[in-house]
């Protein structure tokens, strides 16, 4: 099977030129002017952008959370991703305490197998750093799972203490894996929560008020210090605030390999959303929490200045009805997490490119090329050149729409960005050579997505 994309404006992280793109057997085979090879499918991309498919490196699909689980499975979640121009995700497999890393990984592989419509990889969240599991780390890396998320938050559930964090980092130093950190000071947050509930304060806004930005700053600084001593690179997930940015910027200026991600909700929403009446604030309960608006400009600047390198979603959808309502009388019972996988490119294009906060090339770099590079998939993914996977989005820069739960494809009953007007849409989405979305229609079938064995961030 072959596809010829004609007359498009090819935009990558580093280039911007008019060209045709020829695809054969899942790969891009030629990028040049006026290609006239025989083909089964011709797509006219005149006046449209031809970009590498989006890569979302932070999703929680089909993730258990107490007695419930995130509402998208790998079929609905990846279809929604595809509609938004994302052609690869990296999801988090969670190791339970006392569980082998391989068991955790296999459970997540089974969740995705037969369902995912786009390619996927996994990070593993390590919650039990017992030496017997650390010895598995090297083997898991050889299976193409080359990044591990640790938490300094949620004591007793997900948090590792500093010595365990350091021990995992040492192991990563041996095998070249990348450590990702959810950085918030879990002990102090728990104390603040206890005191706040004792004062009878139960509304969603207290989720944010018990997780102050200074505690994200503290944990980010601590993580960076531990990574420096262990001599490993570190990637800080979902960065939200000035204090964390200061820590990352400082470390990078000193030459330490520290990387950072933020998400559309931290750029565009704020603590005020948690104050919405009628318990609607619960829709915005996620961690780290939405911050005061004063942090937003710093995040935008950091995306531009390369203090942050990626935009991901932390897609972790729970329904407002039934799920978020579990915490109507106690904000600590509101499931943490919110949907976003479908609107990452829409929002970052509208508020980044259209509103001139960063360039078109930088947009591609933030949503596709850097995620591929940092997480060991480049140049297979995140690039448009001969030899790369034919994961391509034909982006119509002129299509306007209003984001709404009425029309989105995510399996969840609300959208945090309800009513946001965006211009720019993924008109045609090609995943390893197959047109899977065309003009708002999904054309493929579940199970076509493949597990991606990722390379190491650092070559040993």
Judged by the rule CB under 6 A, the positions of this chain that interact with ligand URP are: 60, 182, 286-287, 314, 316, 336-337
**Which lies closer to ligand URP via its Cβ, residue 230 or residue 286?**
286
CB of 390 to ligand URP, least distance (A): 31
**Which lies closer to ligand URP via its Cβ, residue 61 or residue 384?**
61
CB of 65 to ligand URP, least distance (A): 8
**Which lies closer to Zn ion via its Cβ, residue 182 or residue 207?**
182
Q: State the residue number with the nearest CB to ligand URP.
A: 336
CB of 339 to ligand URP, least distance (A): 11
**Which lies closer to Zn ion via its Cβ, residue 180 or residue 377?**
180
**Which lies closer to Zn ion via its Cβ, residue 182 or residue 450?**
182
Please give the Cα distance from 50 to 62 (Å, whole number): 31
**Which lies closer to ligand URP via its Cβ, residue 118 or residue 316?**
316
CB of 56 to Zn ion, least distance (A): 11
CB of 382 to ligand URP, least distance (A): 22
Please give the Cα distance from 170 to 162 (Å, whole number): 12
**Which lies closer to ligand URP via its Cβ, residue 123 or residue 249?**
123
CB of 309 to ligand URP, least distance (A): 18
Q: State the residue number with the nearest CB to Zn ion.
A: 182
CB of 284 to ligand URP, least distance (A): 10
Phi, psi (rounded to 5 degrees) for 310: -140, 155
Can you give the chain as a three-state secondary structure string?
Answer: CEEEEEEEEEECCCCEEEEEEEEECCEEEEEECCCCCCCCEEEECCCCEEEECEEEEEECCCCEECCEECCCCHHHHHHHHHHCCEEEEEEEEECCCCCCHHHHHHHHHHHHCCCCCCEEEEEEECCCCCHHHHHHHHHHHHCCCCEEEEECCCCCCCECCHHHHHHHHHHHHHHCCEEEEECCCHHHHHHHHHHHHHCCCCCCHHHHHCCCHHHHHHHHHHHHHHHHHHCCCEEECCCCCHHHHHHHHHHHHCCCCEEEEECHHHHHCCHHHHHCCCCHHHHHCCCCCCCCHHHHHHHHHHHHCCCCCEECCCECCCCCCCCHHHHCCCHHHCCCCECCCCCHHHHHHHHHHHCCCCCHHHHHHHHHHHHHHHCCCCCCCCCCCCCCECCEEEEEEEEEEECCCCCCCCCCCCCCCCCCEEEEEEEEEEECCEEEEECCEECCCCCCCCECCCCCCCCC
CB of 139 to ligand URP, least distance (A): 25
Q: Are 397 and 363 in contact (CB under 8 A)?
A: no
Residues near Zn ion (CB under 5 A) are 182, 314
CB of 7 to ligand URP, least distance (A): 41
Distant-in-sequence, close-in-space partners of 1: CB < 8 Å, separation ≥ 6 = 24, 25, 40, 41, 433, 434
CB of 314 to Zn ion, least distance (A): 4
**Which lies closer to Zn ion via its Cβ, residue 233 or residue 288?**
288
Of 221, 233, 308, nearest in space to 264 by CA:
308
- Among Zn ion, ligand URP, none, what binds residue 208 when CB lies within 5 to 8 Å by partner kind? none
**Which lies closer to ligand URP via its Cβ, residue 136 or residue 314?**
314
**Which lies closer to ligand URP via its Cβ, residue 4 or residue 153?**
153
């Amino acid at each position: 099977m072959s596809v010829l994309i004609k007359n498009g404006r090819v935009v990558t992280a580093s280039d911007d030129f008019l060209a045709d793109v020829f695809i054969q057997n899942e790969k891009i085979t030629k990028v040049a002017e006026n290609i006239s090879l025989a083909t089964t499918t011709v797509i006219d991309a005149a006046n449209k952008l031809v970009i590498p498919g989006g890569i979302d490196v932070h999703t929680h699909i089909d993730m258990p959370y107490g007695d419930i689980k995130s509402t998208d499975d790998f079929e609905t979640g990846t279809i929604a991703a595809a509609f938004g121009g994302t052609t690869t995700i990296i999801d988090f497999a969670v190791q339970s305490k006392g569980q082998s890393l391989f068991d955790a990984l296999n459970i997540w592989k089974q969740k995705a197998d037969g369902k995912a419509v786009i390619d996927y990889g996994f990070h593993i969240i390590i919650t039990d750093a017992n030496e017997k599991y650390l010895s598995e780390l090297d083997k898991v890396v050889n299976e193409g799972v080359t990044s591990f998320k640790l938490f300094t938050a949620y004591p007793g559930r997900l948090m590792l203490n500093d010595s365990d964090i350091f021990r995992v980092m040492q192991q990563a130093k041996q095998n070249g894996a990348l450590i990702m950190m959810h950085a918030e000071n879990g002990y102090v947050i728990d104390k603040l929560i206890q005191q706040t509930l004792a004062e009878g304060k139960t509304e969603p806004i207290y989720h944010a008020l018990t997780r102050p930005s200074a505690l994200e700053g503290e944990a980010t600084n601590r993580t960076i210090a531990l990574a420096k001593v262990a001599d490993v690179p570190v990637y800080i997930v979902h960065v939200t605030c000035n204090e964390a940015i200061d820590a990352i910027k400082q470390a990078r200026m000193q030459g330490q390999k520290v990387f950072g991600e933020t998400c559309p909700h931290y750029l565009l929403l704020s603590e005020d959303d948690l104050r919405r009446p009628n318990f609607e604030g619960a829709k915005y309960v996620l961690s780290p929490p939405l911050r005061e608006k004063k942090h937003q400009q710093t995040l935008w600047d950091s995306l531009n200045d390369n203090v942050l390198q990626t935009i991901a979603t932390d897609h972790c959808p729970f329904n407002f009805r039934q799920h978020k309502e579990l915490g109507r009388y106690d904000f600590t019972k509101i499931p943490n997490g919110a949907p976003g996988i479908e609107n990452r490119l829409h929002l970052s294009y509208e508020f980044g490119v259209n509103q001139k906060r960063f360039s078109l090339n930088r947009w591609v770099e933030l949503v596709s090329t850097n995620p591929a590079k940092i997480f060991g998939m480049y140049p297979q993914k995140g690039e448009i050149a001969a030899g790369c996977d034919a994961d391509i989005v034909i982006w119509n820069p002129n299509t306007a729409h209003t984001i709404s739960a009425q029309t989105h494809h995510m399996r969840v009953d609300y959208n945090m960005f309800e009513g946001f007007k965006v211009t720019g849409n993924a008109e045609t989405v090609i995943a390893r050579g197959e047109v899977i979305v065309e003009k708002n229609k999904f054309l493929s079938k579940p199970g076509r997505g493949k597990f991606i064995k990722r390379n190491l961030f650092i070559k040993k």
